[in-house]
Chains A and B, each alone.
Chain A
Amino acid sequence: MRIAAAFEQAKAEDRAALGIFITAGDPDLETSKEILMGLPHQGVDFVELGMPFSDPMADGPSIQAASLRALKAGTKLRHVLEMAAEFRAAHPNVPLILMGYYNPIYIYGVDRFLDEAVSAGVDGLIMVDLPPEEDEELCLPARQAGLDFIRLITPTTDDARMPVVLANSSGFVYYVSITGITGTRSASADSIADAMARIRSFSALPAVVGFGIKTPEQVREAAMHADGVVVGSAVVDQLAASLDQDGRASASTVSATLALAKALAEGRHRQA
């Protein structure tokens, strides 16, 4: 509900919805909570909260480092769920999506995780290493529990495979705009336009683009074609640049990260 409402509102305002990714617990729980809480005030429409994992196989160096900082600071899956609940209490209408890898959830216990995620007010899940072939693991139980399961479509997903990937998807469709890991290269506006058109021919869900989008200008370009735009690595890089020599938060960590989120949110509007 919250996800659909956020996209409807963006549409009514003739703009794209902006999603920001941060890793929970990066560089420590308190700081990342402060950033998380502040994101909606910068114009961010929905949040993807990364659940740190020791072996983030689809992530580039920036988000790998964020994951390791969070784990080093002692972040556990239960802390992520606690953060989600606090976010929900403060921001009753802003969609919150948990993003990560399956193993920590598998070890936590799928049922227990889903119960607690629903109670915490989480809206959806993005699981990098759970393709439709593994839907019985988490996707179907999550849908049953009332959570959206948001799937990644990539440039390698051809027309024959598209319906397979979309079959149990909900919330929105997340288009990974590059054949690659997070935070490396950027896609061209043309290729994004083509991909959005292709996705819309298969699905009525909002089409969101992410991976490789870094600047307010790139957000604006993508917003011309997409219903939503996600920025992750650039935000994580901004956070990382503000840390002290030992990788700890400095006085500017929260403000610098939120300032970038605010600048990116300007790009949501299709006219400059």
Chain B
Amino acid sequence: MNDQTAMNSYRNQPDEEGRFGIHGGRFVAETLMPLILNVEKAWKESLTDQAFLDELNYYRKHYIGRPSALYFAERLTAHFGGAKLYMKRDELNHTGAHKINNVLGQALLAKRMGKTKIIAETGAGQHGVASATACALFDMECEVFMGAEDVERQKPNVDRMRLLGAKVHPVTSGTGTLKDAMNEALRYWVSNAESHFYIIGTAAGPHPYPAMVRDFQSIIGIEAREQILEAEGKLPDALVACIGGGSNALGLFHPFLDDESVAIYGVEAAGKGIETGDHAASLTGGVPGVLHGNRTYLLQDEDGQIKDAYSISAGLDYPGIGPEHAWLHETGRVKYVSATDEGALEYFRLCSRLEGIIPALEPSHALAFIGTMIGDMDKDQVVLMNMCGRGDKDLGAVLPILEKQGLL
């Protein structure tokens, strides 16, 4: 690729060292270095291996159920009274979220590398369930690391993983959430380096994971681009997706990054409000640092100690963000905004009542942001959001709150 294209496109990151601007990289212990170099090599080879791509496409179609629908949310659109709202229905995927898109890709890669043991970390449990599912399908062993607090918050997913044959390790170190689960998964990988493949669940971690996960998730945006052109005869005016580590968002955004007319919004979790300090908005409230194999924006104190993130949504409760988002933030191509617990809860209910779609708490954050801006847009404009997961897993956490507010 020559310098000209490099400067004129947002779509050709990272460089050979896995850098997105200053972000990304490979900040891992030496024990893991040979492994991630192997993963990178296998992944690059797979990109031109037609048999691999055919197999991936086969499972996408017949197992995940892709392409997922693009749905015009008519009643929410009427409710907002502004631009038309479309939803990319990745909550209809097998296992109920976008996570399976990435897991199938990585599991097939593991298979190609001759690995039969899988490690995964999980927050909301969606990535854990997707990993357990792929392991059942491909006859692999599955070890899932999940923060002890999340094991409580997302019990239905823990039960699903167990039924699927995975071993769930509750992690009690730190605050027992996603960051600690990732630490523990990395420790387990260091200890079982030769035999295991680590399927990271978001577009973060050491190179090549951020780019690889993005590419496996980009099927979302590739389909959405075609579908919206068919439905509306034009590109959308805005894209919106929620951000934990950033994989569903990048999956939607990446194929549109060079379409200048498309405004792009990533929605971080503002928890109880950015000003309270209890949030998970790494770009809004963090500074660049190095954790979990990459440089990116992190919630941390002035001495470089990582702070605990907070969000009602277990899937967004992470003090970092994928390095490509850090770069897209600095270049200004994507605008990063936030939505609170309260906003997410409101739209969790509203979307259920108006569309008959129970969204996961994560995309409820995207809806909450949309609620603040779509009403001011023109009626012939189009907003496309990623409905990246369904909310069944969240009923245990949400219903008591709605009940208390008398909203059921």
Residues of A participating in the B interface, judged by any CB pair closer than 8 Å: 53-61, 64, 71, 76-77, 101-108, 128-131, 133-134, 151-158, 161, 165, 176, 179-181, 184
Contact = CB atoms under 8 A, between A and B. Distances in A.
A95 B341 CA distance: 52
Nearest to A164: B33
B291 A55 contact: yes
Given A152-B29, A154-B30, A179-B31, A71 B305 contact: yes
A140 to B, nearest CB: 15
Of the candidates B193, B289, B291, B302, the one having the most CB atoms from chain A within 10 angstroms of its own CB is B291
B187 interface: yes
Contacts of B27: 102, 129-131, 134
Contacts of B290: 101-103, 106, 129
Contacts of B179: 55
B190 A179 contact: yes
Contacts of A57: 29, 183, 186-187, 190, 292
A243 to B, nearest CB: 18
Given A55-B183, A129-B290, A131-B28, A181 B191 contact: yes
A77 B303 contact: yes
Interface string B175-200: 00001000100110011111000000
B31 A134 contact: no
8 contacts: A55-B291, A55-B306, A58-B31, A103-B300, A107-B304, A133-B17, A134-B26, A179-B191
Interface residues of B, number: 37
A155 to B, nearest CB: 8
A131 B26 contact: yes
B271 interface: no
A106 B30 contact: no
A57 B206 CA distance: 13
Contacts of B186: 57
Interface string B297-328: 01010111110000000000000000000000
B25 interface: yes
B9 interface: no
B12 interface: no
Interface of B: 17, 25-35, 173-174, 179, 183, 186-187, 190-194, 287, 289-293, 295, 298, 300, 302-306
Contacts of A108: 303-304
A259 B45 CA distance: 55
A106 to B, nearest CB: 6
Of the candidates A131, A155, A157, the one having the most CB atoms from chain B within 10 angstroms of its own CB is A131
Contacts of B303: 76-77, 104, 107-108
Contacts of B32: 156
Contacts of A77: 303-304
Contacts, number: 115
A157 B304 contact: no
A134 B25 contact: yes
Q: Closest 10 A-B residue pairs measured CB to CB?
A: A107-B304, A104-B304, A180-B191, A54-B305, A154-B31, A103-B304, A58-B29, A54-B306, A131-B33, A129-B27
B33 A133 contact: yes
A181 B289 contact: no
Given A101-B290, A151-B30, A179-B192, 20 more contacts: A54-B306, A55-B292, A57-B29, A57-B292, A58-B190, A64-B173, A102-B290, A103-B289, A103-B300, A103-B306, A129-B290, A133-B26, A133-B33, A134-B26, A154-B29, A154-B31, A156-B32, A157-B30, A179-B31, A180-B190
A157 B34 contact: yes
B31 A176 contact: yes
Nearest to B187: A181
A60 B186 CA distance: 11
Contact of A103 (B34, B193, B291): B291
B305 A156 contact: no
A268 to B, nearest CB: 26
A58 B183 CA distance: 9
Nearest to A157: B30
Given A55-B291, A57-B187, A60-B187, A105 B30 contact: no
B131 to A, nearest CB: 20
A108 B35 CA distance: 30
B296 to A, nearest CB: 11
A171 to B, nearest CB: 16
Contacts of A104: 303-305
Contacts of B291: 55, 103
B312 to A, nearest CB: 23
B304 A58 contact: no
Contacts of A106: 289-290, 295, 304
Contacts of B287: 107
Nearest to A158: B34
A178 to B, nearest CB: 8
Contacts of A133: 17, 25-26, 33
A104 B302 CA distance: 9
